[in-house]
Amino acid sequence: MKKKNVVCVLVLLSVLMIGTSCGNTNKKSTEETTTAAVQSAALEVDDLLATADDKVDKEITVEGVCTHICKHGGRKIFLMGSDDTQTIRIEGGKVGKFDAQCVNSIVKVTGELKEQRIDEAYLQNWESQLKAETAEDHGDGEAGCDTEKKARGETANTPQSRIADFRAKIEKRKEATGKDYLSFYYVEATSYEIQE
Protein backbone atom coordinates (compact mmCIF):
# COMPACT_ATOMS: atom_id res chain seq x y z
CA MET A 1 0.00 0.00 0.00
CA LYS A 2 2.80 2.33 0.93
CA LYS A 3 4.47 1.79 -2.41
CA LYS A 4 1.22 2.61 -4.22
CA ASN A 5 0.86 5.89 -2.28
CA VAL A 6 4.44 6.91 -3.08
CA VAL A 7 3.85 6.22 -6.77
CA CYS A 8 0.60 8.23 -6.68
CA VAL A 9 2.36 11.15 -5.01
CA LEU A 10 5.21 11.04 -7.52
CA VAL A 11 2.76 10.93 -10.44
CA LEU A 12 0.80 13.84 -8.94
CA LEU A 13 3.98 15.90 -8.44
CA SER A 14 5.08 15.17 -12.00
CA VAL A 15 1.72 16.29 -13.35
CA LEU A 16 1.87 19.50 -11.28
CA MET A 17 5.41 20.26 -12.44
CA ILE A 18 4.52 19.68 -16.09
CA GLY A 19 1.33 21.73 -15.71
CA THR A 20 3.22 24.61 -14.09
CA SER A 21 5.94 24.46 -16.69
CA CYS A 22 3.39 24.47 -19.51
CA GLY A 23 1.49 27.27 -17.82
CA ASN A 24 4.57 29.50 -17.81
CA THR A 25 5.33 28.73 -21.45
CA ASN A 26 1.74 29.44 -22.45
CA LYS A 27 1.72 32.64 -20.43
CA LYS A 28 4.88 33.87 -22.16
CA SER A 29 3.55 32.86 -25.56
CA THR A 30 0.22 34.57 -24.84
CA GLU A 31 2.01 37.76 -23.76
CA GLU A 32 4.11 37.75 -26.94
CA THR A 33 1.04 37.18 -29.08
CA THR A 34 -0.86 39.95 -27.30
CA THR A 35 2.04 42.38 -27.71
CA ALA A 36 2.32 41.58 -31.42
CA ALA A 37 -1.44 41.98 -31.85
CA VAL A 38 -1.43 45.36 -30.11
CA GLN A 39 1.47 46.57 -32.25
CA SER A 40 -0.24 45.54 -35.47
CA ALA A 41 -3.79 46.43 -34.43
CA ALA A 42 -5.29 49.30 -36.35
CA LEU A 43 -8.06 51.53 -35.11
CA GLU A 44 -11.13 51.88 -37.24
CA VAL A 45 -11.80 55.44 -38.39
CA ASP A 46 -14.96 55.76 -36.24
CA ASP A 47 -13.06 54.68 -33.10
CA LEU A 48 -10.18 57.05 -33.82
CA LEU A 49 -12.49 60.03 -34.31
CA ALA A 50 -14.44 59.18 -31.15
CA THR A 51 -11.27 59.21 -29.02
CA ALA A 52 -9.12 61.67 -30.98
CA ASP A 53 -8.77 64.21 -28.13
CA ASP A 54 -6.79 61.64 -26.14
CA LYS A 55 -4.52 60.66 -29.03
CA VAL A 56 -3.30 64.04 -30.35
CA ASP A 57 0.47 64.11 -30.96
CA LYS A 58 0.69 60.33 -30.43
CA GLU A 59 1.54 57.61 -32.92
CA ILE A 60 -1.52 55.70 -34.06
CA THR A 61 -2.43 53.18 -36.72
CA VAL A 62 -5.75 53.57 -38.50
CA GLU A 63 -7.40 51.55 -41.24
CA GLY A 64 -10.23 52.46 -43.59
CA VAL A 65 -11.41 52.61 -47.17
CA CYS A 66 -9.59 55.28 -49.16
CA THR A 67 -12.27 57.36 -50.87
CA HIS A 68 -10.13 60.08 -52.41
CA ILE A 69 -6.57 61.02 -53.27
CA CYS A 70 -5.64 64.67 -53.76
CA LYS A 71 -5.23 65.49 -57.44
CA HIS A 72 -2.60 68.11 -56.60
CA GLY A 73 0.41 65.87 -56.08
CA GLY A 74 -1.21 62.86 -54.38
CA ARG A 75 0.02 63.95 -50.94
CA LYS A 76 -3.36 63.57 -49.24
CA ILE A 77 -5.82 60.73 -48.97
CA PHE A 78 -9.06 60.35 -47.06
CA LEU A 79 -10.06 57.21 -45.16
CA MET A 80 -13.72 56.49 -44.51
CA GLY A 81 -15.17 54.61 -41.58
CA SER A 82 -18.71 53.29 -41.26
CA ASP A 83 -20.10 56.01 -43.56
CA ASP A 84 -19.02 59.20 -45.30
CA THR A 85 -19.56 61.30 -42.17
CA GLN A 86 -16.74 59.33 -40.49
CA THR A 87 -13.74 60.40 -42.56
CA ILE A 88 -10.19 61.39 -41.66
CA ARG A 89 -7.59 63.17 -43.76
CA ILE A 90 -4.16 61.57 -44.09
CA GLU A 91 -1.25 63.87 -44.98
CA GLY A 92 1.71 62.38 -46.87
CA GLY A 93 4.22 63.56 -44.28
CA LYS A 94 7.31 61.34 -44.43
CA VAL A 95 5.80 59.03 -47.06
CA GLY A 96 5.35 61.88 -49.52
CA LYS A 97 3.07 60.90 -52.36
CA PHE A 98 0.44 58.16 -52.04
CA ASP A 99 0.01 55.48 -54.70
CA ALA A 100 -3.10 55.93 -56.87
CA GLN A 101 -3.91 52.27 -56.05
CA CYS A 102 -5.05 53.47 -52.61
CA VAL A 103 -8.39 54.71 -53.96
CA ASN A 104 -11.23 52.26 -53.29
CA SER A 105 -8.86 50.03 -51.30
CA ILE A 106 -8.52 49.42 -47.59
CA VAL A 107 -5.44 51.33 -46.48
CA LYS A 108 -3.63 50.94 -43.16
CA VAL A 109 -1.73 54.07 -42.09
CA THR A 110 0.67 54.63 -39.22
CA GLY A 111 1.51 58.17 -38.23
CA GLU A 112 1.05 60.95 -35.71
CA LEU A 113 -2.46 62.25 -35.01
CA LYS A 114 -2.68 66.05 -35.30
CA GLU A 115 -5.36 68.55 -34.43
CA GLN A 116 -6.21 71.56 -36.59
CA ARG A 117 -8.08 74.23 -34.68
CA ILE A 118 -10.36 76.66 -36.44
CA ASP A 119 -10.82 79.74 -34.27
CA GLU A 120 -11.50 83.44 -34.84
CA ALA A 121 -7.83 84.22 -35.55
CA TYR A 122 -7.75 81.48 -38.20
CA LEU A 123 -10.90 82.87 -39.83
CA GLN A 124 -9.60 86.46 -39.79
CA ASN A 125 -6.37 85.29 -41.43
CA TRP A 126 -8.39 83.46 -44.09
CA GLU A 127 -10.44 86.62 -44.75
CA SER A 128 -7.21 88.65 -45.11
CA GLN A 129 -5.84 86.14 -47.61
CA LEU A 130 -9.06 86.27 -49.62
CA LYS A 131 -8.95 90.07 -49.66
CA ALA A 132 -5.30 90.05 -50.77
CA GLU A 133 -6.07 87.19 -53.21
CA THR A 134 -3.33 85.04 -51.70
CA ALA A 135 -5.55 82.29 -50.32
CA GLU A 136 -4.41 78.80 -51.32
CA ASP A 137 -6.87 76.92 -53.54
CA HIS A 138 -7.82 73.33 -52.80
CA GLY A 139 -10.17 71.33 -54.96
CA ASP A 140 -11.81 72.31 -58.21
CA GLY A 141 -12.83 75.89 -57.53
CA GLU A 142 -13.33 78.46 -54.84
CA ALA A 143 -15.62 76.20 -52.84
CA GLY A 144 -12.67 73.96 -51.85
CA CYS A 145 -12.12 70.22 -51.93
CA ASP A 146 -15.50 68.47 -51.65
CA THR A 147 -13.99 65.47 -49.87
CA GLU A 148 -12.28 67.62 -47.24
CA LYS A 149 -15.43 69.68 -46.75
CA LYS A 150 -17.47 66.52 -46.26
CA ALA A 151 -14.92 65.21 -43.73
CA ARG A 152 -15.41 68.42 -41.74
CA GLY A 153 -19.19 68.46 -42.06
CA GLU A 154 -19.20 71.58 -44.24
CA THR A 155 -22.07 72.41 -46.58
CA ALA A 156 -21.27 75.99 -47.70
CA ASN A 157 -20.01 76.60 -51.24
CA THR A 158 -18.05 79.86 -51.19
CA PRO A 159 -15.16 80.88 -48.97
CA GLN A 160 -17.25 83.64 -47.40
CA SER A 161 -20.16 81.31 -46.61
CA ARG A 162 -17.72 78.68 -45.29
CA ILE A 163 -16.24 81.29 -42.92
CA ALA A 164 -19.72 82.33 -41.77
CA ASP A 165 -20.64 78.69 -41.24
CA PHE A 166 -17.49 78.10 -39.16
CA ARG A 167 -18.29 81.15 -37.02
CA ALA A 168 -21.80 79.85 -36.36
CA LYS A 169 -20.44 76.41 -35.42
CA ILE A 170 -17.80 77.95 -33.15
CA GLU A 171 -20.47 79.99 -31.35
CA LYS A 172 -22.66 76.92 -30.92
CA ARG A 173 -19.73 74.90 -29.54
CA LYS A 174 -18.76 77.73 -27.19
CA GLU A 175 -22.28 77.80 -25.74
CA ALA A 176 -22.32 74.02 -25.33
CA THR A 177 -18.77 73.34 -24.10
CA GLY A 178 -17.03 76.65 -23.46
CA LYS A 179 -14.52 75.93 -26.26
CA ASP A 180 -14.25 78.78 -28.78
CA TYR A 181 -12.76 76.73 -31.60
CA LEU A 182 -13.50 73.73 -33.79
CA SER A 183 -11.20 70.71 -33.85
CA PHE A 184 -10.45 68.79 -37.00
CA TYR A 185 -8.10 65.82 -36.85
CA TYR A 186 -5.71 64.42 -39.41
CA VAL A 187 -2.79 62.00 -39.52
CA GLU A 188 0.75 62.82 -40.62
CA ALA A 189 1.72 59.49 -42.15
CA THR A 190 5.03 57.78 -41.48
CA SER A 191 4.05 54.61 -43.35
CA TYR A 192 1.10 53.04 -45.11
CA GLU A 193 0.15 49.83 -46.82
CA ILE A 194 -2.67 48.87 -49.11
CA GLN A 195 -4.46 45.86 -47.63
CA GLU A 196 -5.21 42.88 -49.84
pLDDT tens digit sequence for 157-188: 888 999 999 999 999 999 999 999 999 999 99
Q: For the chain, what is the domain count?
A: 2
> Would you say how long the chain is, in residues?
196
| Burial profile 8-30: b = 16 or more Cβ within 10 angstroms, e = fewer | eeeeeeeeeeeeeeeeeeeeeee
Instruction: Determine the number of helices (DSSP H) and then strands (DSSP E) in the chain.
Output: 5, 6
**Together in a domain, 36 and 49:** no
**Together in a domain, 186 and 133:** yes
Residue closest to 114 by CA, chosen among 45, 59, 185, 52:
185
| Residue numbers of the domain that contains 4 | 1-41
Backbone angles phi, psi at 9, to 5 degrees: -65, -45
**Together in a domain, 19 and 78:** no
**Together in a domain, 98 and 186:** yes
Please, which pLDDT band fits residue 3 given cuts at 50, 70 and 90? very low
pTM of the model: 0.72
**Together in a domain, 152 and 64:** yes
Which tens digits make up the pLDDT trace of 24-51?
Answer: 444 444 444 433 444 458 999 999 999 9
Q: CB count, 10 Å around CB of 111?
A: 22
Q: Is the pLDDT of residue 10 over 70?
A: no
**Together in a domain, 63 and 1:** no
